[in-house]
C-alpha cells in the first residue's frame, strides 16, 4: 500500500531535487552550457559538511554558508578559467559540455584523492560517511512528529528558493541576469556588464547546488559518488521544466520525486517490480517528456522566458 512514508519521502526528496534543479536550469538558461560540474557541486557540498564536522563545526547553518561559498568559488573559477575563454573563441555547446565533462572527471577524482588522504590521516573511513550535524529539533504537531532532518531541509530549501526569487525578480542584478539569458548581445549593448553578471550567476548556481548536496548528505549516506547518483534525476527535473522556467523546474522536482517514490511503491505493490528498478522510471519520464514536449531551448527553438512562458505558435 502506498502509505504516509512515500508521501513524506516525496516531499523531502522533492525539496532536495528542487534545490538542485533550479541552479542547473538557471545556468543552462543563461549560458547554454549543460554543466557536468553540477555533479561536483553536489558532492563537494556534502563533503564540506563531512570535513567541517571533523573539525568540530556542527551547526548546519554555518556549514550551509561555507558550502555555498565553496560551491560558488568553484563555479566562478570554472567560468573564468575555462568556459569564458572557450566561448570567446566561439566554441559551440558540445565543446563547452565536453570541457565541463573534463572538469567533472578532474574534480571527482581530486576529491577522491583528498578524502582518501584525509581519511588515512585521521584513520576514519571518509569514503562513505553518515553525517551527524546539529540540526533543528523534531517538533510535535498535534500527534504527528515532524523529523528534525526534514525541518532542516525544508528551512534551507525555502531559504534558497526565496533567495533565488528575490534576487531574480527584485534586484537589478537579477534583472540583468534575465536580460543576459534572454539576449546576450542586446544586454551587452544596453550597457549591462555581461561578465560580472555571468560570474554572479555562476556563484548563485554553484552555491545553491552545494547546499543541495549538503541537504542530500543529511538525508542519506555521503560518498564521492552522490552527485553521480543524483545527476540523472536532476537532468530529468530540468528537462521537465523545459530547461527555461524556474517554476516548471520546481514542479518537475516534485513530479520526479513522486514518480520515484509513490509510483514506484505502487508498481512494487501491484506487479512486484523490484525497487532497484527505480532509475528506470526516471528514464521513462525523461524519454516521454522529450517525445511529447521537447524542451525548446534544447531543441534549437526559441527559449521560454523565466517566469511567464511565451506561447508558441
Question: Under the rule (CB under 8 A), what is the footprint of other proteins?
Answer: 34, 82, 85-86, 89, 91-95, 97-99, 101-110, 112-113, 116-117, 120, 127, 223-225, 228-229, 232, 235, 239, 274, 276-277, 279-280, 283, 286-287, 290-291, 294-295, 297-300
Q: How far is the CB of 194 from other proteins (least distance, A)?
A: 21
> Measured from the CB atom, is 32 or 217 closer to other proteins?
32
Any idea which residue has 581530486 for its cell? Answer: 110
> Measured from the CB atom, is 56 or 274 closer to other proteins?
274
Q: How far is the CB of 219 from other proteins (least distance, A)?
A: 19
Alpha-carbon dihedral of residues 49, 50, 52, 57, nearest 10 degrees? 80
Q: How far is the CB of 251 from other proteins (least distance, A)?
A: 20
Q: How far is the CB of 45 from other proteins (least distance, A)?
A: 18
Helix (H) or strand (E) holding 121: helix 93-122
Helix axes 60-78 and 37-55, enclosed angle (nearest 10): 140
Please give the Cα distance from 224 to 109 (Å, whole number).
Answer: 9
> Measured from the CB atom, is 71 or 242 closer to other proteins?
242
Q: What is the DSSP string of 68-114?
A: HHHHHHHHHHHIIIIIHHHHHTT--HHHHHHHHHHHHHHHHHHHHHH
> Measured from the CB atom, is 208 or 285 closer to other proteins?
285
Please give the Cα distance from 96 to 82 (Å, whole number).
Answer: 9
CB 228 within 8 A of CB 240: no
Question: How far, rounded to the nearest angstrom, does the alpha carbon of residue 182 sit from its chain's CA centroid?
Answer: 22
> Measured from the CB atom, is 18 or 289 closer to other proteins?
289
Please give the Cα distance from 23 to 249 (Å, whole number).
Answer: 10
Q: How far is the CB of 313 from other proteins (least distance, A)?
A: 19
Any idea which residue has 523529523 for its cell? Answer: 147
Helix (H) or strand (E) holding 278: helix 278-292
Q: How far is the CB of 171 from other proteins (least distance, A)?
A: 30
Query: How many of the other CB atoms lie within 10 Å of CB of 299?
Result: 12
CB 201 within 8 A of CB 30: yes
> Measured from the CB atom, is 115 or 176 closer to other proteins?
115
Q: How far is the CB of 110 from other proteins (least distance, A)?
A: 6
Q: How far is the CB of 75 from other proteins (least distance, A)?
A: 15
CB 37 within 8 A of CB 75: yes
> Measured from the CB atom, is 134 or 228 closer to other proteins?
228
> Measured from the CB atom, is 14 or 227 closer to other proteins?
227
> Measured from the CB atom, is 186 or 287 closer to other proteins?
287
Strands (E), the chain: 139-141, 144-146
Amino acid at each position: 500500500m502506498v502509505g504516509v512514508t512515500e508521501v513524506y519521502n516525496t516531499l523531502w526528496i522533492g525539496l532536495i531535487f528542487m534545490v538542485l534543479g533550479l541552479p542547473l536550469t538557471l545556468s543552462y538558461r543563461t549560458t547554454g552550457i549543460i554543466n557536468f560540474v553540477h555533479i561536483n557541486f553536489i558532492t563537494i557540498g556534502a563533503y564540506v559538511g563531512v570535513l567541517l564536522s571533523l573539525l568540530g563545526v556542527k551547526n548546519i547553518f554555518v556549514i550551509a554558508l561555507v558550502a555555498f561559498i565553496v560551491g560558488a568559488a568553484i563555479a566562478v573559477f570554472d567560468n573564468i578559467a575555462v568556459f569564458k575563454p572557450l566561448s570567446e573563441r566561439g566554441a559551440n555547446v558540445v565543446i563547452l559540455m565536453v570541457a565541463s565533462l573534463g572538469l567533472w572527471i578532474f574534480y571527482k577524482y581530486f576529491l577522491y584523492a583528498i578524502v582518501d588522504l584525509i581519511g588515512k590521516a585521521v584513520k576514519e573511513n571518509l569514503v562513505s560517511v553518515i553525517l551527524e550535524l546539529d540540526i533543528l529539533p523534531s517538533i510535535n504537531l498535534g500527534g504527528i512528529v515532524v523529523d528534525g532532518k526534514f525541518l532542516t531541509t525544508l528551512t534551507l530549501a525555502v531559504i534558497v528558493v526565496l533567495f533565488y526569487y528575490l534576487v531574480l525578480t527584485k534586484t537589478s542584478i537579477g534583472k540583468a541576469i534575465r536580460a543576459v539569458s534572454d539576449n546576450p548581445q542586446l544586454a551587452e549593448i544596453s550597457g549591462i556588464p555581461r561578465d560580472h553578471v555571468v560570474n554572479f550567476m555562476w556563484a548563485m548556481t554553484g552555491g545553491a547546488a552545494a547546499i543541495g548536496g549538503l541537504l542530500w548528505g543529511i538525508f542519506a549516506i555521503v560518498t564521492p559518488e552522490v552527485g553521480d547518483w543524483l545527476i540523472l534525476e536532476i537532468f530529468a527535473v530540468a528537462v521537465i521544466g523545459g530547461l527555461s522556467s524556474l517554476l516548471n523546474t520546481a514542479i518537475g522536482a516534485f513530479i520526479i520525486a513522486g514518480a520515484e517514490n509513490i509510483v514506484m511503491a505502487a508498481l512494487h505493490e501491484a506487479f512486484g517490480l523490484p525497487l532497484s528498478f527505480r532509475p528506470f522510471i526516471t528514464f521513462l519520464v525523461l524519454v516521454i517528456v522529450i517525445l511529447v514536449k521537447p524542451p525548446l531551448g534544447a531543441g534549437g527553438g526559441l527559449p521560454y522566458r523565466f517566469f511567464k512562458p511565451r506561447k508558441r505558435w
